[in-house]
Structure 1
Amino acid sequence: MAVVPTSKAAPAGAGQAAPPTQYGRALALLATLFFMWGFITVINGTLLPHLRSVFELSYFQAALIESVWFIAYFFASIPSAKLIERIGYQKSLVVGLLIMAAGALGMTLAASLPSYGVTLFMLFVIASGITLLQVAANPYVAVIGPSETASSRLNLVQAMNSMGTMLAPLFGAYLILGRSKGGTAEAGAAALTQAERLADAHAVILPYVLVAAVLLVLAIVIARFPLPAMGSATSRVAKEDRKRHSLWNHRNLVFGIGAIFIYLIAEIGVGNLFVNFVSRPEIGNMTTEQAGRYLTLLWGGMMVGRFVGSAIMQKVDAAIVLAAFSIGAFIVMVITVFTQGEVAMWSLILVGLFHSIMFPTIFTLGIKGLGPLTEEGSGLLIMAIAGGALVAVQGWLADQYGLQNSFLLTAICELYILFYALWGAKPTNAIED
């Protein structure tokens, strides 16, 4: 939907109304939020093989760490939407950053003990803060410009998210894996001693102190910045008028919820198991520290793909681009499963390029034609990010049928995205603004 924010009927706390020329400054600032939550999310990809060594976890137990992270999206999305209604978008962004900072500092406590249970809880806290940011920032970016370029605009800003995911593995490989015995050990090396596991756990403290400091600074900047108001067109419909509308009459939203849910299984499964897969003797034959550096290429491909996808969508329909990228993702995942050595490694790296445009494009296609229901639809789409919690299913498949074979689940996920692009994304009962 095309919405140009004005000074009238601005949501409380959304920020001061501003001329359109200031929207670019606001988006540039919000891009730093996309960067930070991408950075912190992918730190988990580095953290998982580290914690697997520290706590001697199975693939399922390690994947459960990521499941807890994404379960937070399910439980925190609706409370986040309620909080935004009560205190406004800008204050909600600040609260989200403070929650993330508290969770990051809590990770230092978990590392000091060390405690698997406290680690799970603190990751849940960080993810709850990110959920609040997602519920506020994604629809903000999508609706403050022409509807026909919404996918292009969100892909462009999400490229900053990918930049965070690209740099996070380098940060984690150097400050976590590179400073731990488990991270620098050769694949298949002897189990760590109790003293070595304790030292490895303490390696997490410095990285999360640095992350917490950056989040606090960013919260102060956001609190003092005059963000433009989103305007009244995206606010909830009056109670009586709301009875005439139903979110479930919009096919693109209903199937879009499923598309985001299933896409997250694919993206997070690849990111979490990448280091373990690439470091295997028959694939990359390297240490987990070295494999962590290759993970940078996976997320770097997502950044490049979003810049390229944003440019393509200026001229090509977003659904067509989504269909083409889903076909590419399916092909490289099949290659990953049925080949060995560098071919399998590089095909898995390449899936990042094809995954790049999927989340922002599905999101904008999902809210298309919702009119004044955009806010509620956005909340449901963000809740669908909880699909990442089912990465534990791939962990179970890896334990039962082998790590490489588990990527067949990812290939199946790509086929649903293709279905959504070709049919599910077509709007029904579109509401005019």
Structure 2
Amino acid sequence: MAASSSRAAGRSPLPLALIVSLFFLWGVANNLNDVLIPQFKKAFVLNDFQAGLVQSAFYLGYFLVAMPAGIYMRRFGYKSAVVFGLALYGLGALLFWPAAQQGTYGFFLFALFVIASGLAFLETSANPFVTLLGPRESAARRLNLAQAFNPLGSITGILIGQHFIFSGVEHTPEQLAALSAAERAAFVAHETAAVQLPYLAIGLVVLAWGLLILLTRFPAVHAVEEGAVPRDHGALARLLGDRRFLATLAAQFFYVGAQVGVWSYLIRYVQATMPGTPAKLAANYMLVSLACFMAGRFAGSALMRYVAPRRLLALFAAVNVALTVFAVAVPGVAGACALVACSFFMSVMYPTIFALGVEGRGDDERKLGSALLVMTIIGGAVLTAAMGAVSDAAGISRAMLVPAASFVVILLFARLRGAVER
């Protein structure tokens, strides 16, 4: 009877559907940050560096928790890691309610850290889990399908922010200065309260999804595989002594920093270079960016049938260097359109760099390498804060030099990788 139940679970599409949905859920959380930055900047009267701490707190959670998540996954299994990650994600979302009640920016940053800690568990476990939920020969196809749901979640996050968080009330510095203390307090309370209901809904949905996964029977074969004890104790030392792998870590660090930086400050760039543009209208540029990102993933996958991945990576990185430099030189509508176009060419970078980093490695090196590559998401915290500092000192347009330099690093990585392979 038990064996029959296991086979039924293996044939059921429900386990795979539940795990694939996680790619959508973390896409929502990731890109809601792009809405929170201008929202908190307005509500708390922050400079660009301070507003950029939204991403710093978020991606610090990824950096600190990725390796513990990998260890937890080895000890307790994929399903347990997913459920634990969803619990943290849901808890962090629910913390937005008391954070808004207190009207404290630091409390919001802590809530974002908790959300990101949950996402670190999800990203570390969901990718390999999808490859195991079905026949081995179709693993790549399942993973590509799952990844396609990520930009859909990102678009949903922007739509939530555009229609349920942005109020449309935007004061100039002079108007803010003219407000009385009571009026100022009421404005802050109104703008911070705007995040309460959206994040409450997200938190409840995420916790319910975690409960559904907990109660769903998954194929029993994974319990055997998850319980295996790693036998290769020198894998980490070999990875850290491998210059090619260290170069991969650097490339991924700068890629994540560039992507997060461009998206985080796109709305701010539009409003600063096109004065009078409301945040709700500026958010449309972000929506088009995410549509370009999704289109780029499909186009990039198709092109890789004819072009080697590292060559396509180098080409796309070179194009993005030109686009970001153009956005610096020609601020305004043209520059904003260039930044939107960047998303198409960024689309293949993360998975291509990731694949180049772990290809040809043994099981333990692949698992540890994957955890280390997830840790490089800290680039989103470091480079976004750096962009904020540049913006405060020299303007938002010049801040785009930071992602431009990052794309140069990726271009060099791809070219050097090709030289080594030859």
What TM-score, normalized to structure 2?
A: 0.87
> Corresponding residue for 2:54?
65
> Corresponding residue for 1:253?
245
- The amino acid of 2:385's aligned partner reads A
> Corresponding residue for 2:43?
54
> Structure 1: any 5+ residue segments left out of the alignment?
1-6, 8-14, 429-433
CA distance in 2, matches of 1:311, 1:224: 38
Question: Which secondary structure does the structure 1 equivalent of 2:396 belong to?
Answer: coil
CA distance in 2, matches of 1:134, 1:415: 27
> Corresponding residue for 2:333?
342
> Corresponding residue for 2:299?
308
CA distance in 2, matches of 1:78, 1:413: 25
> Structure 2: any 5+ residue segments left out of the alignment?
none
> Corresponding residue for 1:381?
373
- The amino acid of 1:125's aligned partner reads V
Q: Is 2:27 the counterpart of 1:34?
A: no
CA distance in 2, matches of 1:151, 1:401: 45
CA 1:370–1:227 in 2, change beyond 3 Å: closer, same or farther?
farther
1:132-156 CA-partner distances (Å, limit 9, x unpaired): 1111123444688999998876554
- Per-residue deviation, 1:283: 3.1
The residue correspondences of 1:386-401 to structure 2 (distance < 5 A) are 386-390=378-382, 391-401=384-394
Question: Which secondary structure does the structure 2 equivalent of 1:286 belong to?
Answer: coil
- Per-residue deviation, 1:16: 6.1
CA 1:328–1:20 in 2, change beyond 3 Å: closer, same or farther?
farther
Q: Whose helix fraction is larger, Structure 1's or Structure 2's?
A: 2
- Per-residue deviation, 1:340: 3.0
> Corresponding residue for 2:71?
82
CA distance in 2, matches of 1:61, 1:318: 37
CA distance in 1, matches of 2:236, 2:285: 52
1:262-317 CA-partner distances (Å, limit 9, x unpaired): 1111011111111111112x437410121122211111211111122223334433
Contact conserved, 2:256 with 2:380, CA < 8 A, in 1? Answer: yes
Q: Is 2:399 the counterpart of 1:406?
A: yes
1:172-231 CA-partner distances (Å, limit 9, x unpaired): 011000xx3xx4327667226221111111111110011012102221232234445567
Question: Which secondary structure does the structure 1 equivalent of 2:175 belong to?
Answer: coil
- The amino acid of 2:370's aligned partner reads S
Q: Which moved more, 1:361-370 or 1:225-234?
A: 225-234
Paired residue for 2:114, among 105, 125, 131? 125
Question: Which secondary structure does the structure 2 equivalent of 1:340 belong to?
Answer: coil
- The amino acid of 2:410's aligned partner reads I
CA distance in 1, matches of 2:420, 2:111: 39
Question: Which secondary structure does the structure 2 equivalent of 1:316 belong to?
Answer: coil
- The amino acid of 2:258's aligned partner reads A
> Corresponding residue for 1:363?
354
CA 1:369–1:153 in 2, change beyond 3 Å: closer, same or farther?
farther
What TM-score, normalized to structure 1?
A: 0.85
CA 1:243–1:166 in 2, change beyond 3 Å: closer, same or farther?
closer
CA 1:268–1:242 in 2, change beyond 3 Å: closer, same or farther?
same
CA distance in 2, matches of 1:427, 1:151: 26
CA distance in 2, matches of 1:45, 1:153: 29
Provide the aligned length of Structure 1 versus Structure 2: 408
CA distance in 2, matches of 1:347, 1:186: 28
CA 1:16–1:238 in 2, change beyond 3 Å: closer, same or farther?
farther
- The amino acid of 2:415's aligned partner reads L
- The amino acid of 2:377's aligned partner reads I
CA distance in 2, matches of 1:369, 1:17: 32
> Corresponding residue for 1:417?
410
CA distance in 1, matches of 2:110, 2:388: 20
CA 1:236–1:414 in 2, change beyond 3 Å: closer, same or farther?
farther
CA distance in 2, matches of 1:425, 1:97: 39
Matched residues, percent identical? 33
